[in-house]
Structure 1
Amino acid sequence: MGSKWETLVADKRKRQTDSIPKEWLISLPSEDCLDVTNVPNECGILTAKELEITELDDVDALLLNLASGKWSSVEVTTAYCKRAFIAQQLTNCLTEIFVERALKRAKELDEHLRKIGKVAGPLHGLPVSLKDQIQVKGLEATLGYASWVGKYSDRDAVIVQILLEAGAVPFVKTNVPQTMIWAETNNLLFGRTVNPHNRKLTAGGSSGGEGALLAMKGSPLGVGTDVGGSVRIPAGFVGIYSLRPSYNRVPYAGAVTTTTEGEESNPTVLGPMSRSLSGIKAFMKVVTAAKPWDRDPLAIKKEWDSDAYALADHGGEGGKNLVFAVMWDNGQIVPHPPVRRALEETKAALIAAGHKVIDWAPFPYERLGKNLERIWLAAGTKFIHDIVAESGEPILPTMGLNPLANGGREFQEGISAYELRQLHQEKQALKEAHLVHWQETAQLTGTGRAVDAIICPMAPGAAPLHGTNDEAYKSFYTSVLSCLNYVAAVFPVTTVDPKLDVRNAPHQFYNKKDQAMFQAYDPEIFKGAPIALQLVGRTLEEEAVIAMTEVVDKALKEYKESKSKL
């Protein structure tokens, strides 16, 4: 008989496997099949109509079909359940599977539409997937810990309450990394989640299960969490959209966490992930309309701002004549060739669309990034070791908070309140300096205002090989924006092309991390992997960031279409 944690893992995995209808199991492709994104179309499990439903990326269009009765909620929910289970078999992206509950709700929504003649809410009938730490009453929220198997939630998180009231259909929860703060998704309870575009590559973390599921088109809209890049990194690595909102713009109450429990100077935020920007916008409109500040004491009282979405503070006119600043690198790690090409293509597309693009001047981002890391670990890691001690499970060596990992760094002990206060003072000074830095761009824009947004890498390269993703967080392309509390959207741009993205000659390296990142690049390893960028706005500019990302996304699509005709 195995140890306590192994017994708990065996029980949980069996229950998870048994929750998938046997008729929805597929013949698995060989391990040599790296790109599995097309398997749902070829495996024979989905009907032609189910493929039509799940292939529709635009959430607005899906909601319209549901509201009009063209597609019933049962049809849409069934299609997405089937596709999610296919995704699970190929990428290991799910944790909790509750298809019977989802279909029961879908039937109730269809009956409501039939009897009342109108939708139950703005997300009527829409399947929504949830990162594992978001509590759903009656289900487990294990966060990948064997110790938490059998601990059932006694309430819905506030965000789940809002989604249910809006007519959504929660149907699955998705995988996370052990210890949570890590840019890969792997744990001893459920195992590793892989990238559907190349199963040798990571799907990112900590919302990696969401990313993989959405990339497989197993969900139209997902909810993840982000403290240093956890919705942005997976979204970028699998080629979808995401939004990192400001602190407390989206209610976090009822979501479980461990690593940042009680951390108020850089709190974790909930953020949407979707295959379309319409999904991101629909989520934010629903959440802000629900007055979450009446349910979560930390939620900011700020409804959806239509003027901000119309870019009233950015010249108005719905997004004409904007000025963007491109951050080619952050002074710490020079991005790989495909990321540089994505930046160049985005700049060219924006100029072609009539916008202005300037260069973003250097700033000491390393200080911001290291400040954030020290605040994260200010309390030490005893609480994590206490959790795993309940079952005796070990901490995986690739997880960043293992005191035996990463060259023997010891994070067990915390720091004093006085030392933490000093970190907060440093953070405030850096934030003030960065605001001055941003404001000074008004001298370069020609509009009388500072740059409207920054375009920058999401990570230095494409999704890396499993077990090597230390640099996604440590590159400081995402985490510093959390430290600044800036709103950041991720949008897909291109994929790695070995013919276009040849390895550069060595540059003058900023540091050893920069050199290691340079040496890790091999265009053949990353062939076909998605490349995404971030669009960055200021604090509480969610509406403007969504609108400006729509402008950039449209410009890129028009630019690519025009080039294809040449």
Structure 2
Amino acid sequence: MATAWRELVRDKRARQVESIPKEWLIDCPAEAVLDVTKIPKQCGLFTAKELEITGTTDAALLLSKLASGEWSSVEVTTAFYKRAIVAHQLVNCLTEIFVERALARAAELDAHLKSTGKVVGPLHGLPISLKDQLPLKGLETTMGYVSWIGKFAERNAVVVDILYDLGAVPFVRTNVPQTLMWAETYNNVFGRTLNPHNRSLTSGGSSGGEGALVGMRGSPLGIGSDIGGSIRIPSVFNGLYGLRPSYGRVPYAHAVNSMEGQDSILSVLGPLSSSLSGVKIFMKSIAENRPWLRDPLARRKKWDDEEYALVEHGGGKNLCFGIIWNDGQVVPHPPVIRALEMTKAALIAAGHKGAADDYRAVTSSTGEPIINSMEIVDEENGVVKNTFLPPMPASAYHLWQFQKERRDLRQEYLEYWNSTVEQTGTGRPVDAIIAPCAPYTAVPHGKNNNAAYTAVWNALDYPACVFPVTRVDPVLDAPRPRHDFIDDTDKAIHELYKPETFVNAPVGLQLVGRCQEEEAVIAMTEVVDAALKEAKAKIAKL
């Protein structure tokens, strides 16, 4: 038995290699080359048009060109597939590769557009990548378990069926950590996924394969899942936009998962994209497909244009944001603090305001377990130290007490949020919260051991949208000496920071809104993103 699992892995990896077109293989740079994001342009594999296609970060623009027939779905799918395969060779981000199947789908869509002059749906012709927990009929979904090799899906996940209805082209599946319950991406089947901006750093998890792939522009839009930060952490570590919606906005039916039956804190599906337009288009398209008719737990809520217009938030004028500078447990690293300062300054310059200089959500009172990563002890033999899983409740009664605490916590936060009307000066409570996604940027492999900045919003079921802000700058982000620490964890995370370790790492934040307020969260993130871009443009002119 000791060697049986290794034989299964060898066979699975060999089949994966066989699924890659040989003409798409490149000469990979040495391991010492950390930033590999420019390799696609330098490797000589792509035509000028393919580079233009995959370099188009705005999903709305891609869809416009597909709908007009200027770019065919076969062209777009081929270009992104090639770039996904290049990304995989550089950062090990893929699991299932099914080129012929995806190109056949793209050809069908092109034929439909040519014969009818109409698109199949709002995602017509767009390649979309999927986290390796979303089954596609006829393909394996291992989710990082060797024991699931050879188990082929008999049906699609509901969200995959909806993507087909919407005209999309599912084209690759992406790597995850074993069990999904780690904030990094490593398993015994496919190995470790690296961060394309700095391969000595983690891509995050558990949607780390998605984060790395979209970060390499190997996919314009991907679907991940989030139970404690698993969409947001890979998004922020890879310089992307990503949304953790409230439970039920995206159908979860027939996805595979760990800890099925646990419903104290529920996992949700959501998008990762190189553009905010990708996040919005995905959420709007899913809602308009009425997913509650396919998944009994999906919320019966259509896309709300009034909510997106920020009718309850002053029409988007003079918004008031609360800013979490730290959560009372861990003080963020200098690049994260600088991102908060940049965002605050950009919003004030754009006419918005902060509720207070040091607005804090009371995250330290949640009682939520901090989601820790794993330290790899011996990758060759697949031995890991798992520090995440907390002791299980001793009885149903203990579980009920936990769920009562969760209920009371949500009530406490609701009342606290409402009370901020006394501080804002707008006649409204705080419109949204801007917060770190982690106390650091992407960290060296095996060191991502804190998810408190994301997990609290899962406990509250608040939607949160990630947006990129800047990159680590060794000069601007010099260490800030500290003499007082909250506890040993705060001190250890502070001592982890060395600017030279984090070179080129993306830095981003999350915008958090109230439960089921995804449309407003997306719209307010657009406001923040526009303010940041305007501020950067002014600096560039100086």
TM-score (norm 1): 0.92
CA distance in 1, matches of 2:515, 2:243: 13
- 2:365 is the counterpart of 1:367: yes
Q: Unaligned stretches of 5+ in structure 1?
A: 377-392, 403-409
Distance 1:2 1:265 in 2: 36
Separation (CA, whole Å) in 2 of partners of 1:299 and 1:400: 32
In the alignment, residue 334 of structure 1 is paired with which amino acid?
A: V
- Aligned-partner SS, 1:121: coil
- Conservation of the 8 A alpha-carbon contact between 1:371 and 1:426: no
Answer yes or no: is 1:456 the counterpart of 2:443. Answer: no
1:9 CA displacement? 0.2
Cα drift, residue 532 of structure 1: 0.6
How far does the alpha carbon of each residue in 1:514-538 deviate from its partner, in whole angstroms, 9 at most, with x for none?
Answer: 0001000001110110011000000
Determine which of 431, 434, 443 is the counterpart of 2:422. 443
- Structure 1, 435-444 or 276-285: larger mean CA deviation: 435-444
SS of corresponding position for 2:40: helix
Shift in Å, 1:364: 3.7
Deviation per CA, 1:155-210, whole angstroms, max 9, x where unpaired? 01110011000000000000000121110000010000000000000000000000
**Corresponding residue for residue 90 of structure 2:** 90
State the Cα distance separating 1:248 from its structure 2 match.
1.1
* 8 Å CA contact 1:187, 1:396 repeated in 2: no
Task: Choose from 342, 347, 360 the match for 2:344.
Answer: 347
- Pairing 1:484–2:460 present: yes
Task: Give yes or no for contact 2:323–2:360 (8 Å, CA) kept in 1.
Answer: no
Q: Amino acid of the residue matched to residue 159 of structure 1?
A: V
| Cα separation, partners in 2 of 1:394 and 1:145, compared to 1, 3 Å | farther
- CA distance in 1 between partners of 2:534 and 2:168 (Å): 33
* DSSP-derived class of the 1:504 partner: coil
SS of 2:187's partner is coil
- Of residues 397, 412, 421, the one that matches 2:384 is 397
Deviation at 1:362, TM superposition (A): 3.6
Question: In the superposition, relative to structure 1, how do residues 507 and 350 fare at CA in structure 2: closer, same or farther (>3 Å)?
Answer: farther
d(CA) in 2 for partners of 1:453 and 1:467? 32
Q: Which runs of 4+ in 1 moved over 6 A?
A: none
- What count of residue pairs does the alignment treat as equivalent? 534
Name the aligned partner's letter for residue 496 of structure 2: A
The structural deviation recorded for 1:263 is 1.8
* 1:386 corresponds to: none
- The aligned amino acid for 2:344 is K
Contact 1:227 1:267 in 2 (8 A): yes
Counterpart amino acid of 2:411?
Answer: E
Residue in structure 2 matched with residue 280 of structure 1 by the alignment: 279
Could you tell me how far apart the structure 1 residues matched to 2:385 and 2:100 are? 36
Aligned counterparts, 1:493-512, within 5 A: 493-512=469-488
| 2:522 counterpart of 1:524 | no
SS in 1 for 2:502: coil
Check whether the contact 1:181–1:400 (CA below 8 A) recurs between aligned residues: no
Aligned residue in 2 for 1:145:
145
Alignment of 1:188-207 (within 5 A): 188-207=188-207
Q: What displacement does 1:361 show? A: 3.4
Identity of aligned residues (%): 59
Alignment of 1:225-264 (within 5 A): 225-258=225-258, 260-264=259-263
Contact 1:24 1:85 in 2 (8 A): yes
Preserved CA contact (<8 Å) 1:182 1:400 = no
Given that residues 236 and 532 in structure 1 are in contact (C-alpha distance below 8 angstroms), is that contact kept between their aligned partners in structure 2? yes
- Normalised to the residue count of structure 2, the TM-score between the two structures is 0.96
Q: How does 1:51-62 map to 2 (within 5 A)?
A: 51-62=51-62
Contact conserved, 1:131 with 1:175, CA < 8 A, in 2?
A: yes
Tell me how far apart the structure 1 counterparts of residues 416 and 284 of structure 2 sit (CA, whole Å).
31
- Name the amino acid aligned to 1:441: T
Corresponding position of 1:331: 328
Q: State how far apart, in whole Å, the 1-side matches of 2:182 and 2:28 are.
A: 29
